[in-house]
């Protein structure tokens, strides 16, 4: 496609102050530390990493739930990172955020109809009849009968609540939806239904997804491209197939090696990676992964590797990539 990226992130930083008991700042927690990437129109970009790597902070900073410390977020041609909430509201209407369980964000005292009308009341000036038509259309798209409009959240099942939550996100016709751990905590049989719903909706509404997840097997199936994060940085980014078949960064390699594979060699017989990620308040010098990396040498302690690659589609931040 010749079109530019729909969402472009440049050198985004989000630092949280670390304070002692007297509220004096004693350091910074660098949750997102210089992240740059583009999201193409219509693609599903996976963001994977372990807990504490900054993937959720990244999503929330893009969304404006948290203000960025520095950097640019260009969404449909507008830099929205530095804007005040009321200034960016009209752009953010088309950028939506989906929490782990979108059903849990429904007001228990509102009917489904009231919940679905709310975003339209806040963001648009549509008359009630047009709003109602839009709500019905979306409800049908997520596979719920119209009779559900008059029910309260407790009267429908958890899976249906999830669908209503999704419908609520879609009423404003977003172009990019950030999905934050959409399948964690679900049983495999239910997970499949939810994933298929995401894919159907993507086709039906021409959506672009930023798919934040720690579940690599799901990411492999769903995403077009994958970014792997470690301690606030993207350490590797590329086409899903390339990342999974030929990972270049040692962290990505260990992450993939840790997934249990039924029928294959047991991970517990061969898994070599030791230790746990260091605290993001006290990062190692140079490459952040060097404390756990089997290939680390002196240069890794002194120089922070940049995200580079021979092919533009597959980049890794490592001094000794494969």
Partner 1 sequence: MTSELIAVRGLRISFASDAGIARVLDGVDLTINRGEIMGLIGESGCGKTTLARAILGILPRNASRIDGGDIRFEGRALLDLDEATLAAEIRGRRIAYIPQDPFTAFNPVFTIGTQIADLMRFKSPLLREGGLSARERRRADHARVIDLLRQVQLPDPEGVLRKYPHEVSGGQRQRLMIAMALLPEPRLVIADEPTTALDVTVQAQILKLLKTLARDRGVAVLFTTHDLGTAYEICDRITVMYAGQEAEEAPVASFFDRPSHPYTRKLLDSLPSSENGIRGIPGEIPRLVDPPPGCRFHPRCDRASEVCRSSRPPSTPVAEAHTVRCHHPLGDVT
- Least distance between partner 1 and beta carbon 46 (Å): 13
- Least distance between partner 1 and beta carbon 190 (Å): 7
CA atoms of 48 and 213, how far apart (whole Å):
5
DSSP 81-148: SSS-HHHHHHHHTTEEEE-S-GGGGS-TTS-HHHHHHHHHHHH----HHHHHHHHHHHHHHTT--GGG
CA atoms of 198 and 89, how far apart (whole Å):
25
Binding residue for partner 1 (CB under 8 A) from 187, 203, 310, 312? 187
The full 3-state SS of 236-279, as one line of letters, equals EEEEHHHHHHCCCCHHHHHHHHCCCCCCCCCHHHHCCCCCCCCC
Nearer to partner 1, 120 or 223 (CB): 223
Q: Which residues sit opposite 233 in a β-bridge?
A: 230
Using the contact rule CB under 8 A, the part of the chain among 57-65, 182-190, 231-239, 304-312 near partner 1 is 182-190
Binding residue for partner 1 (CB under 8 A) from 255, 287, 316, 318? 255
Interface with partner 1 includes 220 (CB under 8 A)?
Answer: yes
**44-73 footprint of partner 1 as x/- string (CB under 8 A):** ------xx----------------------
> What is the size of the binding site for partner 1 (CB under 8 A)?
38
CA atoms of 204 and 174, how far apart (whole Å):
12
Contact criterion met (CB below 8 Å) for 202 and 98: no
Nearer to partner 1, 136 or 214 (CB): 214
**144-163 footprint of partner 1 as x/- string (CB under 8 A):** -------------x-x----
CA atoms of 115 and 122, how far apart (whole Å):
12
Nearer to partner 1, 189 or 302 (CB): 189
Nearer to partner 1, 10 or 50 (CB): 50
Beta strands at 70-75 and 233-239: parallel, antiparallel or unpaired: unpaired
Interface with partner 1 includes 1 (CB under 8 A)?
Answer: no
Binding residue for partner 1 (CB under 8 A) from 218, 223, 227, 237? 218
Taking every pair of Cα atoms in the chain, the longest distance, rounded to a whole number of angstroms, is 68
Residues that bind partner 1 (CB under 8 A): 50-51, 157, 159, 187-193, 195-196, 199, 214, 216-218, 220-222, 254-255, 257-263, 266-269, 271, 273-274, 276
């Amino acid at each position: 496609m010749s079109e530019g990226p729909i969402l472009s992130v440049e050198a985004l930083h989000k630092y949280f102050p670390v304070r002692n008991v007297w509220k004096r700042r004693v350091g910074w927690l660098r949750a997102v530390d210089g992240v740059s990437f583009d999201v193409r129109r219509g693609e599903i970009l996976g963001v994977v990493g372990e807990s504490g790597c900054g993937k959720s902070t990244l999503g929330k900073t893009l969304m404006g739930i948290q203000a960025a410390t520095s950097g640019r977020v260009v969404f449909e041609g507008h830099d929205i990172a530095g804007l005040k909430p009321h200034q960016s509201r009209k752009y953010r209407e088309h950028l939506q955020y989906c929490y782990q369980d979108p059903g849990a964000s429904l007001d228990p005292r509102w009917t489904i109809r009231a919940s679905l009308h709310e975003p339209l009341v806040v963001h648009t000036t549509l008359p009630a009849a047009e709003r109602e038509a839009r709500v019905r259309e979306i409800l049908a798209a997520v596979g719920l009968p119209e009779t559900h409009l008059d029910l309260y959240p407790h009267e429908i099942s958890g899976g249906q609540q999830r669908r209503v939550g999704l419908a609520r996100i879609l009423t404003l016709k977003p172009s990019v939806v950030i999905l934050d751990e959409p399948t964690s905590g679900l049983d495999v049989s239910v997970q499949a239904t939810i994933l298929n719903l995401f894919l159907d909706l993507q086709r039906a509404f021409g959506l672009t997804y930023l798919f934040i997840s720690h579940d690599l097997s799901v990411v492999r199936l769903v995403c077009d491209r994958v970014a792997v994060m470690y301690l606030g940085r993207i350490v590797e980014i590329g086409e899903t197939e390339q990342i999974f078949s030929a990972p270049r960064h040692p962290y990505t390699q260990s992450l993939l090696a840790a997934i249990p594979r039924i029928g294959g060699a047991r991970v517990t017989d061969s898994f070599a990676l030791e230790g746990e990620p260091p605290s993001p308040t006290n990062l190692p010098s140079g490459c952040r992964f060097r404390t756990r990396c089997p290939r680390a040498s002196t240069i890794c302690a002194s120089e922070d590797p940049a995200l580079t690659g021979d092919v533009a589609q597959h980049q890794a931040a490592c001094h000794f990539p494969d």
